[in-house]
Structure 1
Amino acid sequence: MPQVKTSARDRLVTAAFELFEEHGYDGATVEEIAQRAGVGRSTFFRTFGSKEDVIFPDHEAILARIKERLTTSAPETRLLAVAEGARVVLQHYLDEGEVARARYRLTSTVPALKAREISGLRAYQRLFTQLLSDWWSDEPNGALRAELTAAGVVTAHNHVLRTWLRGGTDTPERDLDEAMALVLDNQRPQTGETVETGETAVVVIGASGGIEAVAERVRAALAGTPPAPG
Protein backbone atom coordinates (compact mmCIF):
# COMPACT_ATOMS: atom_id res chain seq x y z
CA MET A 1 0.00 0.00 0.00
CA PRO A 2 1.28 3.52 -0.73
CA GLN A 3 2.32 5.53 2.29
CA VAL A 4 0.07 8.40 3.30
CA LYS A 5 1.99 11.65 3.12
CA THR A 6 1.78 13.91 6.13
CA SER A 7 2.68 17.56 6.41
CA ALA A 8 5.77 18.78 8.22
CA ARG A 9 3.48 20.36 10.77
CA ASP A 10 1.74 17.07 11.56
CA ARG A 11 5.08 15.25 11.77
CA LEU A 12 6.41 17.87 14.17
CA VAL A 13 3.39 17.54 16.45
CA THR A 14 3.65 13.74 16.45
CA ALA A 15 7.39 13.81 17.09
CA ALA A 16 7.05 16.36 19.87
CA PHE A 17 4.47 14.37 21.81
CA GLU A 18 6.44 11.16 21.37
CA LEU A 19 9.56 12.77 22.77
CA PHE A 20 7.69 14.47 25.60
CA GLU A 21 6.31 11.07 26.60
CA GLU A 22 9.76 9.47 26.40
CA HIS A 23 11.91 12.18 27.99
CA GLY A 24 9.53 14.65 29.61
CA TYR A 25 8.76 18.15 28.42
CA ASP A 26 12.01 19.68 29.64
CA GLY A 27 14.06 16.71 28.47
CA ALA A 28 13.07 17.02 24.80
CA THR A 29 14.75 19.69 22.68
CA VAL A 30 13.60 21.46 19.55
CA GLU A 31 16.53 19.92 17.68
CA GLU A 32 15.41 16.41 18.66
CA ILE A 33 11.82 17.12 17.68
CA ALA A 34 12.88 18.45 14.27
CA GLN A 35 15.23 15.52 13.69
CA ARG A 36 12.58 12.93 14.48
CA ALA A 37 10.10 14.73 12.22
CA GLY A 38 12.64 14.70 9.40
CA VAL A 39 12.91 18.47 9.07
CA GLY A 40 15.40 21.16 9.99
CA ARG A 41 15.38 23.34 13.08
CA SER A 42 14.46 26.36 10.98
CA THR A 43 11.34 24.54 9.74
CA PHE A 44 10.26 23.99 13.33
CA PHE A 45 10.45 27.70 14.11
CA ARG A 46 8.73 28.68 10.87
CA THR A 47 5.87 26.40 11.89
CA PHE A 48 5.78 26.98 15.64
CA GLY A 49 7.19 29.91 17.55
CA SER A 50 8.24 27.84 20.54
CA LYS A 51 8.13 24.42 22.13
CA GLU A 52 4.98 25.51 24.00
CA ASP A 53 3.23 26.30 20.72
CA VAL A 54 3.56 22.73 19.48
CA ILE A 55 1.49 21.59 22.49
CA PHE A 56 -1.45 23.82 21.47
CA PRO A 57 -1.19 23.92 17.67
CA ASP A 58 -4.84 24.50 16.78
CA HIS A 59 -6.05 27.02 19.35
CA GLU A 60 -6.53 29.95 16.97
CA ALA A 61 -8.21 27.79 14.32
CA ILE A 62 -10.73 26.48 16.85
CA LEU A 63 -11.53 30.01 18.03
CA ALA A 64 -12.15 31.02 14.43
CA ARG A 65 -14.52 28.08 13.89
CA ILE A 66 -16.51 28.94 17.02
CA LYS A 67 -16.79 32.58 15.99
CA GLU A 68 -17.96 31.63 12.51
CA ARG A 69 -20.63 29.29 13.89
CA LEU A 70 -22.01 31.86 16.30
CA THR A 71 -21.88 34.87 14.01
CA THR A 72 -23.72 33.07 11.21
CA SER A 73 -26.58 31.83 13.39
CA ALA A 74 -30.10 33.18 13.05
CA PRO A 75 -31.77 34.73 16.12
CA GLU A 76 -34.06 31.73 16.58
CA THR A 77 -31.13 29.26 16.57
CA ARG A 78 -28.63 31.15 18.68
CA LEU A 79 -28.75 28.81 21.67
CA LEU A 80 -28.26 25.86 19.34
CA ALA A 81 -25.22 27.67 17.91
CA VAL A 82 -23.76 28.13 21.41
CA ALA A 83 -24.10 24.42 22.11
CA GLU A 84 -22.56 23.57 18.74
CA GLY A 85 -19.70 25.99 19.42
CA ALA A 86 -18.84 24.01 22.54
CA ARG A 87 -19.08 20.80 20.53
CA VAL A 88 -16.51 22.14 18.05
CA VAL A 89 -13.93 22.18 20.84
CA LEU A 90 -14.87 18.79 22.25
CA GLN A 91 -14.85 17.14 18.82
CA HIS A 92 -11.37 18.47 18.16
CA TYR A 93 -10.07 16.76 21.29
CA LEU A 94 -11.92 13.55 20.47
CA ASP A 95 -10.39 13.53 16.99
CA GLU A 96 -6.92 13.95 18.52
CA GLY A 97 -7.41 10.87 20.68
CA GLU A 98 -4.18 9.90 22.46
CA VAL A 99 -2.55 13.23 21.61
CA ALA A 100 -5.24 14.96 23.68
CA ARG A 101 -4.57 12.63 26.60
CA ALA A 102 -0.82 13.21 26.28
CA ARG A 103 -1.44 16.97 26.39
CA TYR A 104 -3.57 16.50 29.50
CA ARG A 105 -0.74 14.62 31.22
CA LEU A 106 1.72 17.36 30.29
CA THR A 107 -0.46 20.25 31.43
CA SER A 108 -1.09 18.42 34.70
CA THR A 109 2.63 18.30 35.51
CA VAL A 110 4.27 21.30 33.79
CA PRO A 111 3.26 24.65 35.37
CA ALA A 112 4.09 26.71 32.28
CA LEU A 113 1.83 24.54 30.15
CA LYS A 114 -0.96 24.67 32.72
CA ALA A 115 -0.77 28.47 32.62
CA ARG A 116 -0.91 28.38 28.82
CA GLU A 117 -3.94 26.10 28.95
CA ILE A 118 -5.74 28.40 31.39
CA SER A 119 -5.00 31.35 29.11
CA GLY A 120 -6.57 29.44 26.24
CA LEU A 121 -9.69 28.67 28.26
CA ARG A 122 -10.04 32.35 29.08
CA ALA A 123 -9.85 33.16 25.36
CA TYR A 124 -12.75 30.76 24.67
CA GLN A 125 -14.78 32.33 27.46
CA ARG A 126 -14.05 35.86 26.24
CA LEU A 127 -15.22 34.93 22.76
CA PHE A 128 -18.50 33.47 23.99
CA THR A 129 -19.00 36.48 26.29
CA GLN A 130 -18.36 38.97 23.49
CA LEU A 131 -20.77 37.36 21.04
CA LEU A 132 -23.49 36.77 23.64
CA SER A 133 -23.13 40.39 24.80
CA ASP A 134 -23.68 41.55 21.23
CA TRP A 135 -26.85 39.44 21.00
CA TRP A 136 -28.25 40.67 24.30
CA SER A 137 -26.96 44.25 24.22
CA ASP A 138 -30.46 45.74 24.33
CA GLU A 139 -31.72 43.53 27.16
CA PRO A 140 -31.74 44.38 30.87
CA ASN A 141 -28.65 42.84 32.48
CA GLY A 142 -27.59 41.58 29.05
CA ALA A 143 -23.87 41.94 29.81
CA LEU A 144 -24.18 40.02 33.07
CA ARG A 145 -26.32 37.36 31.42
CA ALA A 146 -23.67 36.96 28.72
CA GLU A 147 -20.85 36.56 31.25
CA LEU A 148 -22.76 34.03 33.33
CA THR A 149 -23.79 32.01 30.28
CA ALA A 150 -20.29 32.01 28.79
CA ALA A 151 -18.78 30.88 32.09
CA GLY A 152 -21.35 28.10 32.33
CA VAL A 153 -20.69 26.90 28.78
CA VAL A 154 -16.92 26.73 29.29
CA THR A 155 -17.24 25.10 32.72
CA ALA A 156 -19.67 22.45 31.44
CA HIS A 157 -17.48 21.68 28.44
CA ASN A 158 -14.35 21.37 30.56
CA HIS A 159 -16.11 19.05 33.00
CA VAL A 160 -17.11 16.70 30.18
CA LEU A 161 -13.69 16.91 28.53
CA ARG A 162 -11.78 16.16 31.73
CA THR A 163 -14.06 13.22 32.46
CA TRP A 164 -13.32 11.78 29.01
CA LEU A 165 -9.57 12.45 29.29
CA ARG A 166 -9.50 10.53 32.56
CA GLY A 167 -11.34 7.61 31.02
CA GLY A 168 -14.51 8.29 32.98
CA THR A 169 -16.96 8.21 30.07
CA ASP A 170 -17.45 6.51 26.71
CA THR A 171 -20.22 8.91 25.65
CA PRO A 172 -18.68 12.41 25.74
CA GLU A 173 -20.89 13.79 22.97
CA ARG A 174 -24.06 12.78 24.79
CA ASP A 175 -22.60 14.05 28.06
CA LEU A 176 -21.92 17.42 26.46
CA ASP A 177 -25.48 17.65 25.10
CA GLU A 178 -26.81 17.06 28.61
CA ALA A 179 -24.37 19.54 30.14
CA MET A 180 -25.29 22.23 27.60
CA ALA A 181 -28.97 21.66 28.32
CA LEU A 182 -28.30 22.32 32.00
CA VAL A 183 -26.47 25.54 31.20
CA LEU A 184 -28.86 26.84 28.56
CA ASP A 185 -32.21 25.77 30.05
CA ASN A 186 -32.67 29.09 31.84
CA GLN A 187 -31.98 30.98 28.60
CA ARG A 188 -34.92 29.42 26.75
CA PRO A 189 -38.42 30.86 26.75
CA GLN A 190 -40.50 29.45 29.57
CA THR A 191 -43.45 27.18 28.80
CA GLY A 192 -46.19 29.18 27.14
CA GLU A 193 -44.07 32.31 26.77
CA THR A 194 -44.48 34.19 23.50
CA VAL A 195 -41.40 35.29 21.57
CA GLU A 196 -41.94 38.08 19.05
CA THR A 197 -39.91 37.71 15.84
CA GLY A 198 -41.01 40.42 13.43
CA GLU A 199 -44.59 39.70 12.39
CA THR A 200 -44.51 36.16 13.78
CA ALA A 201 -45.35 35.23 17.36
CA VAL A 202 -43.70 32.00 18.36
CA VAL A 203 -45.00 30.12 21.40
CA VAL A 204 -42.69 27.48 22.83
CA ILE A 205 -44.61 24.94 24.86
CA GLY A 206 -42.78 22.32 26.87
CA ALA A 207 -39.12 23.32 26.39
CA SER A 208 -37.77 19.94 27.40
CA GLY A 209 -35.94 17.42 25.24
CA GLY A 210 -32.64 19.21 24.67
CA ILE A 211 -31.62 22.24 22.69
CA GLU A 212 -32.08 20.54 19.29
CA ALA A 213 -35.72 19.83 20.13
CA VAL A 214 -36.33 23.45 21.15
CA ALA A 215 -34.66 24.78 18.01
CA GLU A 216 -36.75 22.44 15.88
CA ARG A 217 -39.94 23.69 17.51
CA VAL A 218 -38.97 27.29 16.90
CA ARG A 219 -38.05 26.63 13.27
CA ALA A 220 -41.31 24.77 12.71
CA ALA A 221 -43.32 27.59 14.26
CA LEU A 222 -41.58 30.17 12.10
CA ALA A 223 -42.26 28.07 9.02
CA GLY A 224 -45.90 27.58 9.99
CA THR A 225 -45.58 23.78 9.98
CA PRO A 226 -46.14 21.37 12.83
CA PRO A 227 -42.91 20.08 14.45
CA ALA A 228 -41.99 16.45 14.14
CA PRO A 229 -43.26 14.40 17.07
CA GLY A 230 -40.63 13.71 19.72
Structure 2
Amino acid sequence: MPSAPPDTDDPIDFRVHVVAESIRLFAEQGYESTTVEQIAAAAGISRRTFFRQFGAKEDVIFADHESLLELVAAHLSDGPEADPYESVCTAAELVFLHFRDSRMMAVRRLRIVQGVPALRDRELVTTYRYQRLFEDHLRARLPEESPAQLIGYAAAITSAHNYLLRAMIRGDENATLEHLRDELRQLRRTFTRREVDAGADAVSVITHPAGMSPEEIGHRVVEQLRAQRRDRGQ
Protein backbone atom coordinates (compact mmCIF):
# COMPACT_ATOMS: atom_id res chain seq x y z
CA MET A 1 0.00 0.00 0.00
CA PRO A 2 1.42 3.43 -0.94
CA SER A 3 2.47 5.57 2.01
CA ALA A 4 2.67 9.34 2.18
CA PRO A 5 6.11 10.87 2.66
CA PRO A 6 6.68 12.39 6.12
CA ASP A 7 5.30 15.88 6.62
CA THR A 8 8.68 17.41 7.38
CA ASP A 9 11.41 19.47 5.79
CA ASP A 10 14.08 17.21 7.27
CA PRO A 11 15.98 15.66 4.31
CA ILE A 12 17.09 12.71 6.43
CA ASP A 13 13.50 11.82 7.39
CA PHE A 14 12.41 12.09 3.75
CA ARG A 15 15.26 9.93 2.48
CA VAL A 16 14.82 7.35 5.24
CA HIS A 17 11.15 7.08 4.29
CA VAL A 18 11.89 6.42 0.62
CA VAL A 19 14.80 4.09 1.44
CA ALA A 20 12.59 2.12 3.84
CA GLU A 21 9.90 1.69 1.18
CA SER A 22 12.44 0.61 -1.44
CA ILE A 23 13.99 -1.92 0.93
CA ARG A 24 10.56 -3.28 1.82
CA LEU A 25 9.80 -3.85 -1.86
CA PHE A 26 13.22 -5.37 -2.53
CA ALA A 27 12.67 -7.79 0.36
CA GLU A 28 9.18 -8.73 -0.79
CA GLN A 29 9.69 -8.86 -4.56
CA GLY A 30 13.43 -9.18 -5.08
CA TYR A 31 15.84 -6.46 -6.11
CA GLU A 32 15.81 -7.21 -9.83
CA SER A 33 12.02 -7.51 -9.99
CA THR A 34 11.29 -4.16 -8.33
CA THR A 35 10.89 -1.14 -10.61
CA VAL A 36 11.44 2.56 -10.00
CA GLU A 37 7.75 3.14 -10.66
CA GLN A 38 6.82 0.74 -7.87
CA ILE A 39 9.19 2.39 -5.42
CA ALA A 40 7.87 5.87 -6.23
CA ALA A 41 4.27 4.73 -5.85
CA ALA A 42 4.99 2.97 -2.53
CA ALA A 43 6.76 6.06 -1.18
CA GLY A 44 3.96 8.39 -2.28
CA ILE A 45 6.10 10.45 -4.63
CA SER A 46 6.11 10.98 -8.38
CA ARG A 47 8.45 9.16 -10.74
CA ARG A 48 9.95 12.54 -11.65
CA THR A 49 10.63 13.36 -7.98
CA PHE A 50 12.26 9.97 -7.54
CA PHE A 51 14.72 10.53 -10.38
CA ARG A 52 15.43 14.10 -9.27
CA GLN A 53 16.14 13.07 -5.68
CA PHE A 54 17.70 9.64 -6.05
CA GLY A 55 18.86 9.11 -9.62
CA ALA A 56 18.39 5.36 -10.07
CA LYS A 57 17.25 2.21 -8.32
CA GLU A 58 20.76 1.20 -7.31
CA ASP A 59 21.24 4.62 -5.67
CA VAL A 60 18.10 4.69 -3.53
CA ILE A 61 19.01 1.84 -1.20
CA PHE A 62 21.89 3.92 0.21
CA ALA A 63 20.23 7.32 -0.19
CA ASP A 64 19.99 8.02 3.55
CA HIS A 65 23.79 7.92 3.61
CA GLU A 66 23.86 11.07 1.46
CA SER A 67 22.07 13.04 4.17
CA LEU A 68 24.21 11.38 6.84
CA LEU A 69 27.39 12.34 5.02
CA GLU A 70 26.17 15.94 4.92
CA LEU A 71 25.38 15.76 8.64
CA VAL A 72 28.84 14.37 9.41
CA ALA A 73 30.52 17.06 7.28
CA ALA A 74 28.57 19.78 9.10
CA HIS A 75 29.46 18.27 12.47
CA LEU A 76 33.16 18.21 11.60
CA SER A 77 33.08 21.84 10.46
CA ASP A 78 31.56 23.10 13.73
CA GLY A 79 33.86 24.99 16.03
CA PRO A 80 37.53 25.37 15.06
CA GLU A 81 38.36 25.12 18.78
CA ALA A 82 37.07 21.53 18.97
CA ASP A 83 39.59 18.69 19.28
CA PRO A 84 39.82 17.19 15.75
CA TYR A 85 40.48 13.69 17.10
CA GLU A 86 37.42 13.89 19.34
CA SER A 87 35.26 15.37 16.56
CA VAL A 88 35.94 12.31 14.40
CA CYS A 89 34.83 10.04 17.25
CA THR A 90 31.60 11.95 17.87
CA ALA A 91 30.90 12.01 14.12
CA ALA A 92 31.18 8.21 14.07
CA GLU A 93 28.73 8.08 16.97
CA LEU A 94 26.20 10.09 14.94
CA VAL A 95 26.27 7.44 12.23
CA PHE A 96 25.93 4.62 14.76
CA LEU A 97 22.94 6.33 16.40
CA HIS A 98 21.16 6.75 13.07
CA PHE A 99 21.33 3.05 12.31
CA ARG A 100 20.59 2.03 15.89
CA ASP A 101 17.37 4.06 15.71
CA SER A 102 16.43 2.52 12.32
CA ARG A 103 17.83 -0.93 13.00
CA MET A 104 15.12 -3.01 11.31
CA MET A 105 15.62 -1.09 8.08
CA ALA A 106 19.36 -1.70 8.39
CA VAL A 107 18.74 -5.44 8.95
CA ARG A 108 16.67 -5.67 5.78
CA ARG A 109 19.18 -3.67 3.79
CA LEU A 110 22.04 -5.92 4.93
CA ARG A 111 20.18 -9.02 3.75
CA ILE A 112 19.48 -7.47 0.35
CA VAL A 113 23.00 -6.10 -0.14
CA GLN A 114 24.58 -9.46 0.70
CA GLY A 115 22.69 -11.04 -2.20
CA VAL A 116 23.57 -8.46 -4.87
CA PRO A 117 27.29 -8.10 -5.75
CA ALA A 118 26.85 -4.64 -7.28
CA LEU A 119 25.27 -3.40 -4.06
CA ARG A 120 28.08 -4.88 -1.97
CA ASP A 121 30.56 -2.89 -4.04
CA ARG A 122 28.48 0.26 -3.61
CA GLU A 123 28.39 -0.30 0.14
CA LEU A 124 32.19 -0.44 0.31
CA VAL A 125 32.46 2.81 -1.64
CA THR A 126 29.93 4.47 0.68
CA THR A 127 31.84 3.30 3.76
CA TYR A 128 35.06 4.80 2.42
CA ARG A 129 33.37 8.17 1.92
CA TYR A 130 32.95 8.50 5.70
CA GLN A 131 36.60 7.59 6.21
CA ARG A 132 37.63 10.16 3.60
CA LEU A 133 35.67 12.86 5.43
CA PHE A 134 37.54 11.97 8.62
CA GLU A 135 40.90 12.01 6.83
CA ASP A 136 40.26 15.38 5.17
CA HIS A 137 39.12 16.92 8.45
CA LEU A 138 42.17 15.72 10.37
CA ARG A 139 44.66 16.74 7.70
CA ALA A 140 43.10 20.21 7.37
CA ARG A 141 43.05 20.81 11.13
CA LEU A 142 46.39 19.15 11.95
CA PRO A 143 48.76 20.03 9.08
CA GLU A 144 51.79 19.56 11.31
CA GLU A 145 50.98 15.92 12.03
CA SER A 146 52.15 12.97 9.96
CA PRO A 147 49.60 12.32 7.16
CA ALA A 148 50.18 8.58 7.54
CA GLN A 149 49.35 8.83 11.26
CA LEU A 150 46.15 10.78 10.59
CA ILE A 151 45.04 8.45 7.81
CA GLY A 152 45.75 5.48 10.09
CA TYR A 153 43.63 7.03 12.84
CA ALA A 154 40.72 7.70 10.46
CA ALA A 155 40.92 4.12 9.15
CA ALA A 156 41.01 2.65 12.67
CA ILE A 157 38.01 4.73 13.82
CA THR A 158 36.05 3.77 10.70
CA SER A 159 36.90 0.07 10.99
CA ALA A 160 36.06 -0.19 14.69
CA HIS A 161 32.81 1.69 14.10
CA ASN A 162 31.83 -0.54 11.17
CA TYR A 163 32.64 -3.70 13.10
CA LEU A 164 30.40 -2.71 16.01
CA LEU A 165 27.74 -1.33 13.68
CA ARG A 166 27.48 -4.67 11.88
CA ALA A 167 27.40 -6.46 15.23
CA MET A 168 24.56 -4.20 16.41
CA ILE A 169 22.58 -4.75 13.22
CA ARG A 170 22.98 -8.51 13.64
CA GLY A 171 21.56 -8.31 17.15
CA ASP A 172 24.67 -8.41 19.37
CA GLU A 173 23.51 -6.93 22.68
CA ASN A 174 27.08 -5.93 23.55
CA ALA A 175 27.36 -3.69 20.48
CA THR A 176 26.05 -0.57 22.22
CA LEU A 177 26.80 3.13 21.90
CA GLU A 178 28.66 2.93 25.21
CA HIS A 179 30.81 0.08 23.89
CA LEU A 180 31.57 2.08 20.75
CA ARG A 181 32.55 5.12 22.80
CA ASP A 182 34.88 3.03 24.93
CA GLU A 183 36.65 1.54 21.90
CA LEU A 184 36.93 4.88 20.11
CA ARG A 185 38.29 6.50 23.27
CA GLN A 186 40.96 3.81 23.48
CA LEU A 187 41.90 4.32 19.83
CA ARG A 188 42.19 8.04 20.43
CA ARG A 189 44.51 7.47 23.38
CA THR A 190 46.63 5.07 21.35
CA PHE A 191 47.05 7.35 18.35
CA THR A 192 47.49 10.63 20.22
CA ARG A 193 49.91 9.41 22.89
CA ARG A 194 53.24 11.18 22.42
CA GLU A 195 55.23 9.16 24.91
CA VAL A 196 55.07 5.55 26.04
CA ASP A 197 55.25 5.09 29.81
CA ALA A 198 58.23 3.12 31.11
CA GLY A 199 57.39 -0.58 31.12
CA ALA A 200 54.35 -0.15 28.87
CA ASP A 201 54.08 -2.16 25.70
CA ALA A 202 54.78 -0.38 22.44
CA VAL A 203 51.84 0.09 20.14
CA SER A 204 51.83 -2.71 17.58
CA VAL A 205 51.31 -2.27 13.86
CA ILE A 206 48.46 -4.52 12.76
CA THR A 207 48.96 -6.26 9.43
CA HIS A 208 46.26 -8.13 7.55
CA PRO A 209 45.92 -10.23 4.40
CA ALA A 210 44.96 -8.48 1.18
CA GLY A 211 41.22 -8.52 0.62
CA MET A 212 40.26 -8.57 4.31
CA SER A 213 37.01 -6.67 4.90
CA PRO A 214 36.86 -3.44 6.96
CA GLU A 215 34.80 -5.32 9.57
CA GLU A 216 37.50 -7.97 9.98
CA ILE A 217 40.22 -5.32 10.20
CA GLY A 218 38.18 -3.47 12.81
CA HIS A 219 37.78 -6.70 14.78
CA ARG A 220 41.58 -7.18 14.80
CA VAL A 221 42.12 -3.59 15.96
CA VAL A 222 39.61 -3.98 18.81
CA GLU A 223 41.05 -7.33 19.93
CA GLN A 224 44.63 -5.99 19.88
CA LEU A 225 43.69 -3.01 22.03
CA ARG A 226 41.86 -5.24 24.50
CA ALA A 227 44.92 -7.48 24.76
CA GLN A 228 47.17 -4.48 25.43
CA ARG A 229 44.85 -3.25 28.19
CA ARG A 230 44.75 -6.70 29.81
CA ASP A 231 48.54 -6.90 29.73
CA ARG A 232 48.80 -3.52 31.47
CA GLY A 233 46.18 -4.52 34.04
CA GLN A 234 43.71 -1.81 32.96
TM-score if structure 1 supplies the norm length? 0.73
For residue 79 of structure 1, what is the amino acid of its counterpart?
Answer: Y
Aligned residue runs from structure 1 range 1-230, under 5 A? 6=6, 11-75=17-81, 77-139=83-145, 142-169=146-173, 171-189=175-193
Give the Cα separation in 2 of the matches to 1:113 and 1:104. Answer: 10
Give the Cα–Cα distance (whole angstroms) in 1 for the partners of residues 22 and 156 of structure 2. Answer: 33
TM-score, scaled relative to structure 2: 0.71
Consecutive unaligned residues in structure 1, runs of 5 or more? 194-230
Which has the higher Rg, Structure 1 or Structure 2? 1
Deviation readout 1:155-187 (Å, 9 max, x if unpaired): 010011010111112552012112202321123
In the alignment of these two chains, the number of paired residues is: 189
Structure 1 pair 44/10, CA: closer, same or farther in 2 (3 Å)? same
Matches of 1:42 and 1:104 in 2, distance apart? Answer: 28
- Residue 54 of structure 1 aligns with an amino acid whose one-letter code is V
CA contact (8 A) 2:157 2:184 kept: yes
Unaligned runs of 5+ in 2: 8-13, 198-234
Answer yes or no: is the 8 Å Cα contact 1:73–1:81 preserved in 2: no
Greater share of strand: 1
Aligned residues with identical type, % of pairs: 33
Q: Aligned-pair distance for 1:72?
A: 2.3
1:63-103 superposed Cα distances (whole Å, 9 cap, x missing partner): 22222222324456333212101011111111222111111
Instruction: Indicate if the aligned counterparts of 1:69 and 1:85 stay in contact, CA closer than 8 A.
Output: yes
Describe the SS at the equivalent of 1:158: helix
Q: List, as ranges, runs of 4+ consecutive aligned residues in structure 1 with deviation greater than 6 Å.
A: none
Shift of 1:5: 6.5
Q: Deviations over 1:102-156 (max 9, x none)?
A: 11111211111111111111111111111111222123xx101111001001001
Task: For 1:192 and 1:121, locate their aligned partners in 2 and report how far apart those are by CA, in whole Å.
Answer: 32
